[in-house]
Amino acid sequence: MDSFPQNALGMVNKMAETAAEAPDKAIAFQGAPGANSHLAAMEYAPDCLPLPCFSFEDALEAVKQGKAGSAIIPIENSLHGRVADIHFLLPESGLHIVAEHFMRIRHCLMAKSADAEIRTAMSHPQALGQCRHYLRARDIIPVAYADTAAAAAFVAQSDDPHAAAIAPALSAQIYGLQPIAEAIEDEDHNMTRFVILADQPSAPAAGGPDNFPLMTTFVFEVKNIPAALYKAMGGFATNGVNMTKLESYQEGGSFAASKFYADIEGAPGDPAVDRALAELEFHCNEVRLLGTYRQARRRGIEA
């Protein structure tokens, strides 16, 4: 926690003390108080005890150590793509995805003075990417920092009159900054998908009040032979299982075999899903389930 700016540490420590009193209600998140992940935790579970952590690894470790009942991690954004490398983080952590949450992201440019001539804007790389057209049009230099709210805290304690931060408007209130411009994201559909991680897997039932389908997330490594991915995907097509996400990544330095992160609609126990996964395993060196959970937003339909 000592990596947070000094003017954020008091609040971080107080929130950690409160979370320690009821760790089952605590949700660990990456960032300083006021970060988007903080807002997402409160939106997802309004009665939770948010636990600030400096890094994604720290947030996951808090769950593993019993300091928090779950962690909320942003994994992808509609404007700027991947946020956290969940396909690296989650298998290493041993945790399970138990839910997902979508949150509309709104960015505010803030500085120590409302009349400041802004030359630099500090924020998380994702936030900078989501506001890149705004910054470029105004010749404002983007400066990467660990998270949005911590950037606001850093600017608040700095002596640079031309420095600004990009963070949720709440951060301006928390750290005593002045809002310069609000809703500066490049598109009004700026949405981030978060996943909620816990020590034990969930066992959600199909149906529910919204009748949204179940989702299953897994990673797999295909055999290094011609058409391995094509053959591995065939089982999902022939069994009518909808794959909503497929993303490749490399692990290690060999570049010899591709690994993939995937989301599908359905759950183990469904005959079609079981058949598709069995065919997948036949063509793979490894298949690892990361979690089954209820879909929070229908895929392919405007929310």
Tens-digit pLDDT profile for residues 195-204: 999 999 987 8
Count of C-beta atoms within a 10 Å radius of residue 181: 15
Domain match, 36 and 81 both:
yes
Domain match, 100 and 112 both:
no
Domain match, 75 and 113 both:
no
Distance CA 71, CA 183 (A): 27
Amino acid 274: pLDDT: 97
Of 21-35, 44-58, 255-269, 272-286, which gets the smallest average pLDDT?
255-269
**Residue 194 annotated among the catalytic residues of the structure:** yes
**Residue 218 annotated among the catalytic residues of the structure:** no
From residue 261, alpha-carbon distances to 55, 86, 209, 249 in Å are 22, 9, 29, 8
Amino acid 303: pLDDT: 44
Domain match, 19 and 88 both:
yes
Q: What is the per-residue burial (b if ≥16 Cβ within 10 Å, else e) of 98-131?
A: bbbbebebebbbbbbeeebebebbbbbebbbbbb
Domain match, 113 and 95 both:
no
Q: Which of 4, 29, 148, 192 is catalytic?
A: 192
Of 184, 177, 150, nearest to 161 by C-alpha is 177
Is 267 inside a domain boundary?
Answer: yes
Domain match, 149 and 137 both:
yes
Report whether pLDDT(83) > 90. no
Q: Of 198, 229, 253, which one is at a domain's C-terminal end?
A: 198
Q: Which of 54, 194, 220, 236 is catalytic?
A: 194
What band does 212 get if pLDDT is binned at 50, 70 and 90? Answer: confident
Q: Of 169, 198, 227, which one is at a domain's C-terminal end?
A: 198
Amino acid 299: pLDDT: 79
Contact 96, 198 (CB under 8 A): yes
Amino acid 207: pLDDT: 60
Q: Of 170, 198, 226, which one is at a domain's C-terminal end?
A: 198
Is 14 inside a domain boundary?
Answer: yes
> Which structural domain, as residue segments, surrounds residue 290?
214-294
Is 208 inside a domain boundary?
Answer: no
Report whether pLDDT(254) > 70. no
Is 207 inside a domain boundary?
Answer: no
Is 171 inside a domain boundary?
Answer: yes
Q: What's the structural domain count of the chain?
A: 3
- CATH of residue 156's domain is 3.40.190.10
Domain match, 71 and 10 both:
yes
What band does 300 get if pLDDT is binned at 50, 70 and 90? Answer: low
Percent of the chain with pLDDT over 90: 79
Domain match, 89 and 121 both:
no
pTM over 0.75: yes
